[in-house]
Structure 1
Amino acid sequence: MADAAPPPAGAVHAPLRHDSAEGHVAGTARYTDDVPETATTQHLAFGLAGCGHARIVNIDLSRVRAAPLVTGVYTARDIPGINDVSPVAGDDRLLAEDEILYPGQPLFIVAAMTRDAARAAARLAVVETGPLPAIVTIADARAAGSVIEPAQRMARGDAAAAIANAPRRLSGRVSVGGQEHFYLEGQIALATPGDDGSMHVLSSTQHPSEVQHLVAKVLGLPDARVTVEVRRMGGAFGGKETQAAAVAAAAALVAQRTGHPAKLRLDRDDDMAMTGKRHDFEIGYEAGFDEEGRIAGIRFDLASRCGATADLSPAINDRAMFHADNCYFYPAVEIVSHRLKTHTVSNTAFRGFGGPQGMLGAERVMDDIAAHLGRDPLDVRRANLYGPGRDVTPYHMTVADNVAPDLIAELAAGARYAERREAAAAFNAAHNILKKGLALSPVKFGISFTTTHLNQAGALVHVYTDGSVHLNHGGTEMGQGLMVKVAQVVADVFGVAVEHVGISATRTDKVPNTSATAASSGADLNGMAAFRAADAIRARLAEFAAGRFGGAAQAVRFTRDGVEAGGERIPFAELCRMAYLARVPLSATGFYATPGIEYDRASHSGRPFLYFAYGAALSEVVIDTLTGEHRVLAVDILHDAGRSLNPAIDLGQVEGGFIQGMGWLTTEELVYGPEGQMLTHAPSTYKIPTAGDRPRRMEIRLWDRGRNAEPTIHRSKAVGEPPLMLAISVFSALTDAVMAAAPGRGLPALDAPATPERILAAIAELRGRALA
């Protein structure tokens, strides 16, 4: 399949627009909130805890029940099944029972005839609590020994001895903040009861099967009695992998109790207060290296704030360990990861899933070594790249597809890295207030779920007698273009235009037991499952055509001009009609499980990834040393998408991922109060990048030589998450610019996000040091 003749124009590898592009622009693309409501639809709101960690003494809901238009109030006592909406650990309550674990935790549900009435009533509860000690920060949790699981260790060789015996040594630390998903469409669900006790839930979720299981658990129903449907989401970025379950379960609970549809759409402030974020990290490191900057041994200490419950923190922190090497070979390495439990909202999946935090640590080490030696940071990076005889990761997987050296060389030459670095130095020598910085950093990101059993997908394909095709699979569309990519795969199988493939909503009653659309694996998994379903139908049609028109089934060709068999050319629709009359089945399911991966978590060793996605970015910035403000002036990106299924979609993903990563590292600052309250819970206090923050010059190319060495769907590579980490080049460039404000004093103590306050503080601290 992967090495077949070039596909018909308009199928795979073509830069087709997003299937919902016109609907997005015109406002006609239907989301959950656009579905018409019945007159009896119940509108819901959560009553949230306003305090931090506390014992619940009493909740007086009399004023809530008496509020205008309120039809009901529901607490944990009204749950017929199990009060749990956690993905794994069984520790996430839909509604608090005896204890409040964090500010913003749901305590009860209000149902009313309007959304505004429900929200207003939810604020009328009188909650009596007994305060309990609150562990809020990483430092608090370390001091208290508060963890969600024991510390994990990944190692190869004797790192301590290698560091001690190295010609040069250094140690340092960097803090990196969390990040709010800030999807345009907030968390929402609409539950409609069936007349047989079943439940249908429209949910804005990346994981319909998990929502199905958890709704069934809360309602006390078998999974088969609950159907979850998703046509599209208005963004997700990992924030709707586990966080959608509570909203869906609340809507389903009220729908079951009342017999009427129930809808819950979170207010933006409530959404930000009660849903998880990207994990904030504190990263410590110690490295031994030679005069060229080549590392002999390295140790990392990673500590993250996980929040009040486990959520997906074990796997997220594991991935931070997996990516603490980025593109670099460590001859001897030890990585210790601390997963800290705090009385704050539980952090969760976010684009990159821990990988960005681990990778930022690796890049900080490269910058530190370069500053220590007075060398160009790119030279230090190149000296440490994986290569022949230096190709085993800290988790004992061999890097067999390393293209980072070639990518870096091509980008550095094409973007004139050396020339622009000299120009930045000349600018800095001539300017006292404005200082420029430049950095080129690579990305190596492992593709596959590190929880091995999640690497599976299913699909359902129908072909109708007029030649039109119906496609359904377990992946979800959140704006990333998954649906059009998979439709291209199916269209290619039959040699028809993509417009002939109808894309239907993801439903748990069509394709069961699916994994989340996450880990950048949506196209890999669902594309291959859909290919197998379509290929099964094509094989039947080919056999039928050969029998009818002569020749071998293997010789039958499906082209844009028709199906060629035995010297005849038959329109695809006509062949489908003929096959139907001959009682040939025109429907098939497809299933795909990623091959060749295995991982032993106890020893943190194995092959957790099928392959790696690579990229590199060169970022140029300027800072104002009087205000701390900065601007990203120019960005050049070269990214490896393999043989891209859809270059237009992939280029959009690279650009969007980079800008989101840039926001994480520069402007998006989460601030917590002393009890763990989220203080930055609205656009007025939390600043995502805007169109004005996009660099004026931004050159993005997909690598022409890209081709997946593994037999993925049409030799493509995943592109959802890896580009976000290209934005680490912006943080390194800001570090470089701060160094230019006080040359010769080493690496500045700059943490992320690099807000104006932090840049000013880093400049002041650096200027206060003695010359190295």
Structure 2
Amino acid sequence: MAGSAAPSRSAQAGESLRHESAHLHVSGRAAYADDIPLPAGSLHAAFGLSRIAHGRIKSLDLSAVRAAPGVVAVVTAADVPGENNYGGIVHDDPIFAGQQVEYHGQPLFAVAAMSYGAARRAVALAKIDYEELPALLDIRSALAAESYVIPSQRLQRGEPQAVLASAPQRLSGTVVMGGQDHFYLEGQIAVAIPQEDGALLIHSSTQHPTEVQHMVAHAMALHAHDVTVQCRRMGGGFGGKESQPALIAAAAAILARKTGRAVKLRLDRDADMVMTGKRHDFLADYEVGFDAQGRILALRLMLASRCGYSADLSGPVNDRAICHIDNAYFLEHVELVSHRCKTHTVSNTAFRGFGGPQGMMVIEGIVDDIARTLKADPLDVRRVNYYGIGERDVTPYGQVVEDNVLHTISDQLEASSDYRARRAAIAAFNAQSPVIKKGIALTPVKFGISFNATIYNQAGALLQVYNDGTVLLNHGGTEMGQGLYTKVLQVVATELGLPRAAIRVSATDTSKVPNTSATAASSGSDLNGKAAQAAAQTIRQRLIDFACAQYQLAPEQIRFADGQVQLGERGISFAELVRAAYHARISLSATGFYRTPKIHWDKATLTGRPFYYFAYGAAVAEVAIDTLSGELQILAVDILHDVGKSLNPVLDIGQIEGGFLQGAGWLTCEELWWNARGELKTHAPSTYKIPTARDWPARFRVSLLQDEPNREDTIYRSKAVGEPPLMLGMAVFHAARDACAAARGGDGLSHLQAPATAEAILRAIGGLEPLA
């Protein structure tokens, strides 16, 4: 931006600006890891995978693999220079299995060849002799065997046993929900390029470049400063690219070291789905005591998840499930037991919501069961249990709910969606419709924002201002399509009064901003926005100090806006001021850092203040089911969601729409199925059904809650919007439950389990218990 250029309007925070890469996305020019030009002589890699779920390798004959056309190198566990592990919390995730195989699809070896096709053909030539052992494949089997990846935990508040015993009404049951594949458009991929003196450059499609850096360094017996990890963008992540990209990067690095050549390792869709983790499936057995209005008096709950063969992130995932068991509801007397079940299946991992959706589904199922037992409107039972009635404002883990807008959202949405009249109209329709039954539900969301592990609530940024007035921004957050780069760009534009064309955001790079946290927990804008703001304010203050001395002005006489700087009565371009500061030898580079205040967490007792604040929302969904086929159709959706003072309303609405549909997909059509040998059979688009444009309701209305800025000092008083909207999809599931109850004549509980596939709907209509 030259100093003589005509000024353009600043890209202020709060404006609905398009995604910074939108023009590249739609034109096909957005470069992903698979698009990076490779050095001459680069190789392509593929994994050789286990074909059993549990057993010992008696012999591994790779002679035919090594002799296959185009093969340059083959590596196994014996070829790992350092630690054969990519597990970040518990070191129980081998890069390559040794003698023990613990899930079908586990990597046993990898091949580097002249082409991707040659590598894939070669791995199929391995001759492996196994001694098969019994396999634990589901949660109930693991519970019976007391098979856990980490010790179980218990949280208790009040006197749940005593209060339960004296409750006017009691109910027991089980809530079951399946897992979910991330199904990102871009699969797992890494490119490892040898550098001088043994160093490595890794291009990785990852939400956590620093973890990839550390795991590659450990595997290669290197230090962190020997490994640089870069990521410009991902074609989706959803949590699946938080911990598990380290496996892909480490294997590529081992092959690059062995061959001395660049190696690209890209998983095809089938291999990606078979060998990478999913959302944890959960089940919960409960006993609840309640009164005549449906107010919960006491709750005892056993919560168990299928973690797979290793710990991965299962500990914190289950912890967050515990922290979201309450959702919108005050639970005074509660006992929660959490089991992390070890099974001989792929190690499950982070997924958008990180255990929160599973916890919320449990309590919503319990509240719905209470309402149907009382033959009451489930919304009335939900509202009588909301936080903020009387002194009911402390969570089971001890955090005070200080920013409650549940009642405001529910009041507004109930009115704007015409919920009561529609419920009456649906009852009338069902009375005269023998085959098609409709259902409706309004479900709330209260979602805590921050990493449970306090250490990760920090971020850094690097801001460079060049002497032509342009700006290069780098921060620790990663861009996976959610618009993080756009929002942080807007923060810098706001602080420096610049148009978006003057600012470029560069690829996330561990050599520029170190020790980054994963872009996860909905904290990307909160953390990196604040860090970038701090860096921009440092530069701005240097320019103000310089201008005050140079032009004999007071600080309040200097204003930055629209690419211009007002110096008292005189205006010059931002570029002119920057050039003058450069000639005066003023530093035009700054780092920024931010750490989230107020939070603390005791993971041993599961108590503290794990969340800086809560984000809220609610959805009304209306559905129809065909009682003969089990087909489900979403008819209409109304959403009101709390984003505080939005950084970018159009991006936030996009996140709400996408999150809602992904949540609805998890709970209705996305079914993972393993056979009796532990083989995942839903490992391609032909067998795993994600929602498409045809599943979008004919009427969809989404609104942002107005005039409710964040009460905490977040970036411009905004709120996170990455994960909370996913739980809005619960309204679809509970509307389906409502329709199933209508199909049974409204005679008590609906046994519908998630996902509410056609088969599950028919089982629920038939009064059959969930398959748990």
The equivalent residue for 1:4 is none
Counterpart of 2:180, as a letter, is Q
Cross-structure match for 1:573: 575
Per-residue deviation, residues 7-59 of structure 1 (Å, max 9, x unmatched) = 97531000001111111111110001111223311100000001110111110
Whether the 8 Å contact between 1:546 and 1:566 is mirrored in structure 2 is no
Task: Identify the range of structure 1 (384-393 vs 30-39) with the bigger mean alpha-carbon deviation.
Answer: 30-39
Give the equivalent residue in structure 2 for 1:136. Answer: 137
TM value normalised by structure 1: 0.98
Q: Which moved more, 1:400-409 or 1:30-39?
A: 30-39
Structure 2 residue 666 is matched with structure 1 residue 677: no
Q: Does 1:644 align with 2:653?
A: no
Equivalent residue number for residue 601 of structure 1? 603
Partner deviation per Cα, 1:425-476 (whole Å, 9 max, x = no partner): 1110110000000000000000000001010000000111111110000000
Note the alpha carbon deviations across 1:59-99, whole angstroms, 9 max, x for none.
Answer: 00011111111111111111111111111101100001110
Residue 503 of structure 1, CA deviation: 0.9
The separation in 1 between residues aligned to 2:187 and 2:443, in whole angstroms, is 33
Equivalent residue for 1:168?
Answer: 169
After superposition, residues 184-263 of structure 1 pair within 5 angstroms as 184-263=185-264
| Distance in 1 separating the partners of 2:487 and 2:686 | 37
In the aligned structure 2, how far is the partner of 1:8 from the partner of 1:748?
56
Matched, 1:102 2:124: no
Q: For residue 401 of structure 1, report the CA deviation from its aligned partner.
A: 0.5
Partner of 2:734: 732
* 8 Å contact kept, 2:10–2:493: no
Q: Secondary structure at the match of 2:520?
A: coil
Deviations 1:296-325 (A, max 9, x none): 111221111000000000000000000000
Q: Distance in 1 between matches of 2:662 and 2:344?
A: 27
Could you tell me which residue of structure 1 aligns to residue 179 of structure 2? 178
1:554 Cα offset (Å): 4.4
Q: Which amino acid aligns with 2:714?
A: T
Shift of 1:743: 2.1
The residue matched to 1:765 in structure 2 has which SS?
Answer: coil
Partner of 1:23: 24
SS of aligned partner of 1:59: strand
Matches of 1:558 and 1:154, distance apart in 2: 52
Question: What is the aligned partner in structure 2 of residue 10 from structure 1?
Answer: 11
Aligned-pair CA distance for 1:411 = 0.5
Which range moved further: 384-393 or 670-679? 670-679
Q: Distance in 2 between the 1:378 and 1:540 partners? A: 55
Kept in 1, the 8 Å contact 2:10–2:494? The answer is no
SS in 2 for 1:547: helix
Amino acid at match of 1:267: D
Q: 1:397 aligns with which of 390, 399, 407?
A: 399
Letter in 2 for 1:299: R
Q: Distance in 1 between matches of 2:349 and 2:563?
A: 49
Task: Tell me the secondary structure at the aligned position of residue 312 of structure 2.
Answer: coil
In structure 2, give the amino acid aligned to 1:50: R
Residue identity opposite 1:578 in structure 2? A
**Does the CA contact (< 8 Å) of 1:550 and 1:565 recur in 2?**
no
Q: Which residue of 1 aligns with 2:612?
A: 610
SS of the equivalent of 2:700 reads: strand
Within a 5 Å distance, the mapping from 1:201-350 to structure 2 comes to: 201-350=202-351
Task: Report the alpha carbon displacement of residue 725 of structure 1 after superposing the two structures with TM.
Answer: 0.4
Where structure 1 has 5 or more consecutive residues not aligned to the other structure, the ranges are 1-6, 768-772
Matches within 5 A, 1:521-536: 521-536=523-538
TM-superposition CA deviations, 1:517-561 (whole Å, max 9, x none): 000000000000000011000000011111122232244211116
Match of 1:696 in 2: 698
Q: Distance in 1 between matches of 2:296 and 2:470?
A: 58
C-alpha distance in 1, partners of 2:753/2:649?
35
Residue deviations 1:649-675, cap 9 Å, x none? 110000000000011000000001223
Q: What letter corresponds to residue 656 of structure 2 in structure 1?
A: V
Give the partner amino acid of 1:622. A
The match for 1:123 is 124
Is 59-68 or 7-16 further displaced after alignment? 7-16
Distance across 1 between alignment mates of 2:78 and 2:170: 59
User: Which residues in structure 2 correspond to 1:351-750 (within 5 Å)?
Assistant: 351-387=352-388, 388-560=390-562, 562-750=564-752
Write the distance in 2 (CA, Å) between the matches of 1:149 and 1:309.
Answer: 9
| TM-aligned CA deviation for residue 195 of structure 1 | 2.2
**Paired AA for residue 380 in structure 1:** V
CA apart distance, 1:209: 0.3
What secondary structure is seen at the aligned counterpart in 1 of 2:749? coil
How far does residue 568 in structure 1 lie from its aligned partner after superposition?
2.2
For these two proteins, the number of residue pairs brought into alignment is 762
Moved more, 366-375 or 512-521: 366-375
Measure the CA separation in 1 of the matches of 2:596 and 2:153: 26
Q: CA deviation at 1:706?
A: 2.8
Q: Distance in 2 between matches of 1:133 and 1:757?
A: 29
Deviation, structure 1 residue 214: 0.5
What is the TM-score of this pair, normalised by structure 2? 0.98
Tell me the distance in 2 between the aligned counterparts of 1:572 and 1:22: 27
What amino acid is aligned across from residue 608 of structure 2 in structure 1?
A: G
- Pair 561,237 (structure 1): closer, same or farther in 2 beyond 3 Å: closer
Partner of 1:457: helix, strand, or coil? strand
Deviation track 1:201-257 (CA, whole Å, cap 9, x = no partner) reads 000000000000000111111110100000000001000001101111111111111
**In the alignment, is the contact (CA less than 8 A) between 1:8 and 1:492 conserved in 2?**
no
Deviations 1:87-139 (A, max 9, x none): 11011000011100111000001111000110111111011111122111111
Amino acid at match of 1:98: Q
Distance 1:705 1:575 in 2: 37
**Residue aligning to 1:3:** none
The equivalent of 2:4 in structure 1 is: none
Which shows bigger deviation, 714-723 or 740-749?
Answer: 740-749
Contact 2:10/2:498 (CA < 8 Å) preserved in 1? Answer: no
- In angstroms, what is the RMSD of aligned CA positions? 1.3
Offset at residue 604 of structure 1 (A)? 1.1
Give, in whole Å, the separation in 1 of the partners of 2:557 and 2:290.
Answer: 60
For 2:606 and 2:252, the matched residues in 1 are separated by 40
Q: 1:172 Cα deviation (Å)? A: 1.1
Q: 8 Å contact 1:53–1:675 — kept in the other structure?
A: no
Paired amino acid for 1:669: E
Cα distance change of structure 1 residues 530 and 147 upon mapping to structure 2, 3 Å threshold: same
Q: Secondary structure at the match of 1:520?
A: coil
Check 1:561–1:203 CA distance in 2 against 1; reply closer, same or farther (3 A cut): closer
Give structure 2 stretches of 5+ with no counterpart: 1-7
| CA–CA separation in structure 1 for the residues paired with 2:572 and 2:299 | 65
User: Aligned partners of 1:570 and 1:111: how far apart in 2?
Assistant: 58
Q: What is the rounded CA distance, in whole Å, between the counterparts of 2:565 and 2:287 in structure 1? A: 64
CA contact (8 A) 1:458 1:590 kept: yes
672-681 or 215-224, which deviates more: 672-681
Task: Report if the CA contact (8 A) 1:663-1:688 is conserved.
Answer: yes
Q: Residues 114, 302 of structure 1: CA spacing in aligned structure 2 closer, same or farther, 3 A cutoff?
A: same
Q: Secondary structure at the match of 1:241?
A: coil
**Distance (Å, rounded) in 1 between the aligned partners of 2:447 and 2:609:** 13
Question: Counterpart in 1 of 2:3?
Answer: none
